[in-house]
Every structure is written in structure tokens, then in C-alpha cells.
Amino acid sequence: MTLVYWLDLFGVAVFALSGALMAGRYQLDPFGVIVLAAVTAVGGGTIRDIILGAPVFWLNDVNYLYIIVTTALLTILIIRQPSRIPRRFLLIADAFGLALFAVLGTQKALSFGTPMSIAMVMGILTGCAGGMIRDVLCNVIPMILRQEIYATAALVGGALFCGLLVVGLNQQLATVIAIVGALSLRLAAIYWQLSLPAFEIVDDSERLK
């Protein structure tokens, strides 16, 4: 088994944990926890594979489903009071999944012969779409639509990976460096509460107040 495969499995586990923790915050039943863990873990990759015309990855390898279910059940058994878990823990788990999937999604798109610009978009989709589905199901504004540096971190990971390949770096080393780069940016944004400026339209009636 290759490094990419193990990283992909780890990314699924991390995103499944993120979904399970979110389910715990909203007091879902065990089936709901598994569903939310699953859509978070494989939602982005599924959409990517459909767009690329590739076989959907988890349909060809049952290990992904085993990891999702195992992660969800262990989360239920070990973490009995999700409300006491700091929100930052959920953000950190999500950051690991984002960084991993953004780079691996870019890599997979490149393997199908897409231009680098399209591959980076596929990386963003892979890293962000599962979390978007999770947040929408929980009636929360997705992080990608907030001021937080989220999609930007995914873009940095994909762009860094492509750039390192262009200069001739080994693919496995480029993968690791790009993942670390995207993760570092996202964690820095969480720690220092960095954000992009918000677009705001002020209504005329508000100006008169």
C-alpha cells in the first residue's frame, strides 16, 4: 500500500471524527452520527470522482466504510459528553482533513490529466465539500462561506503541490510538504483567529441611523 493510500485513509478517519463530533453537539442518535461522519468523510471525494468521471473511490474499497463506521462508534463510546469538548478540537480535526484531502484531491485530478488550475479546484472541492454538507445538515453556515481562512488553505495546499511538481520535486515529498503547508495555514488561522475581510453592503436605512 502506498503512502497516498494511507494518507487517504487517515483523512477519511479524521473527517469522520469531525462529523461524529458535530453530530454529538446536536445530540443525534448513533445512526445519525454514522451518517454525518460518512457525508463529511467521503462527500467531497465522491463529488470530485463524479466530475472527473472516475470510479467513486469508496465504492471500490470497503475499507473506507469500515473506517468511517469504526471512527463513529469509537467516538460515541469514548467521548460521552461532546458538549464539553472545546470547539477548537473540532476545528483542528477538520483542519487535518482539509489539508489532507485538498492535496490528495489535487493529486488525483492531475493523475486524470486535468490542467493544474482545474486540479487545484478539484482539491478545494475534495477538502471542503464534505464539511459543507455536514454543516448544512446541522443548519450551520459552512466554514467555507465565513470569513475564516478555510478554502484559502485548501488552495494553498493544492498550489504548493503543483508548484513543487513543476520544479521537479519527488511526488511523495511534494505531497507531504503541501499537506504541512495547508495544515499550518489553517491551524495558524484558528490559533490567531485570522480571517479574510468580509464583503458587506450597508443598506441606506442603516446609514441614516
Structural domain total, the chain: 1
Q: In this structure, is residue 92 part of a structural domain?
A: yes
Q: Can you give the residue range of the structural domain that contains 84?
A: 3-195
Q: In this structure, is residue 205 part of a structural domain?
A: no
The DSSP code for 113 is T
pLDDT at 70 (0 to 100): 97
Q: In this structure, is residue 9 part of a structural domain?
A: yes
Apex CA 116: angle with CA 141 and CA 124, to 5°?
A: 15
Q: How far apart are CA 162 and CA 123, in angstroms?
A: 11
pLDDT at 87 (0 to 100): 72
Helix (H) or strand (E) holding 109: helix 87-111
Helix axes 151-166, 87-111, angle to 10 degrees: 40
Q: How far apart are CA 188 and CA 182, in angstroms?
A: 10
Q: In this structure, is residue 201 part of a structural domain?
A: no
Q: In this structure, is residue 206 part of a structural domain?
A: no
For the entire predicted model, the pTM comes to 0.91
Q: How far apart are CA 101 and CA 34, in angstroms?
A: 20
Q: In this structure, is residue 82 part of a structural domain?
A: yes
Phi-psi region of 68 (alpha: psi -120 to 50; beta: other; left: phi over 0): alpha
Please give the distance of CA 10 from its chain centroid, rounded to a whole number. 12
Q: In this structure, is residue 84 part of a structural domain?
A: yes
Q: How far apart are CA 73 and CA 202, in angstroms?
A: 47
**Residue 195, phi then psi, degrees to nearest 5:** -150, 160
pLDDT at 83 (0 to 100): 59
pLDDT at 196 (0 to 100): 79
Apex CA 44: angle with CA 41 and CA 45, to 5°?
A: 85
Q: In this structure, is residue 188 part of a structural domain?
A: yes
Q: Which residues of the chain have pLDDT under 70?
A: 1, 80-85, 147, 203-209
pLDDT at 208 (0 to 100): 52
Nearest Cα residue to 196 out of 138, 137, 156, 160: 156
Grid coordinates standing for 138? 446541522
Length of the chain: 209
